[in-house]
A and B are shown apart, each in its own frame.
Chain A
Amino acid sequence: METVFTPLQSLAGGALIGVSAVLLMAILGRVMGATGIVAGFIAPRSLSDWTWRAAVLAGMVSGPLVVMLITGQMPDIQVPTSVPMLIVGGLIVGIGVTFGSGCTSGHGVCGMARLSPRSIVATLTFMLATGITVYVIRHIIGG
């Protein structure tokens, strides 16, 4: 499935992701990692620890609606993955990010921005693993 190259939109979106990461650190002193925020949301340690996570998650979910209010269009979501593969992929992602202590936002953005060696190693590892997986699925199995 072809997609259109969108350098400016992607750069602007990335900058906003960065702005949110900086604000969360500046105001609450927390890392903007989707994995960490969800993990603490589903297994809360205290009420005050749960409420800020719930509020951040509610904000995230409102994102596409605000984009629709501004542009008149829902963000494009094309899912080339079958439902069984979404379930398998979701389970594997959940296991991986828990053992790996983070995902693209936590390691790839916040950790890399602090030049954390753990995050740099994790990011290089998952980017490579994702690349190999996509290659195998599309060009070896599906080839």
Chain B
Amino acid sequence: MRLIVSYLIGLVFGVGISISGMANPAKVLNFFDVAGTWDPSLAFVMGGALFVTFAGYKLVLRNKTPVLGTVFQLPTRKDIDGQLIGGAAIFGIGWGIAGFCPGGALPALGTGRLEVLVFVISLIAGIYAAKAIQRTITPKQA
């Protein structure tokens, strides 16, 4: 049950990404190219997603627990540190170079395009590399 529901939720996300244009690097890069071939479509993706999520979370988080879980696992950190800002800036640079972000690229894998696979493998390598760096700079928690 839990897995079928998870699959279907992933599918809704994948269909949403596919029709929104987020899986298409040309469209994503054009959103940022205000000085060139600007395509404002992605503002509508963000707008639609934020509106639904904002309203939906308000309703859902009134419940005590999730339907098939014991607790809502929400991020609890509040501090704004160098890793957050530096990491976000690095992500932006990579997004600007490649045109894919993780949420756009994962559903795009389903098109079978080799370029997407190349990006996703590199993305995963980058995640492993960053975790290795984090282990060396962050002292182990007791």
Contacts and interface: CB of A to CB of B under 8 A. Distances in A.
Contacts of A128: 92
A97 B124 CA distance: 11
Given A61-B14, A75-B24, A79-B99, A14 B72 contact: no
Given A28-B2, A62-B11, A113 B50 contact: yes
A-side binding surface: helix, strand, loop or mixed? helix
Contact of A64 (B14, B88, B125): B14
B66 A28 contact: yes
Nearest to B86: A99
Interface residues of A, number: 112
Interface in A19-42: 19-35, 38-39, 42
B127 A38 contact: yes
Interface residues of B, number: 117
Contacts of A17: 13, 16-17, 20, 22, 45, 48-49, 52, 103
Contacts of B45: 10-11, 13-14, 17
Interface of B: 2-27, 29-30, 32-37, 39-42, 44-54, 56-57, 59-61, 63, 65-75, 77-80, 83-104, 106-111, 113, 115-116, 118-131, 133-134
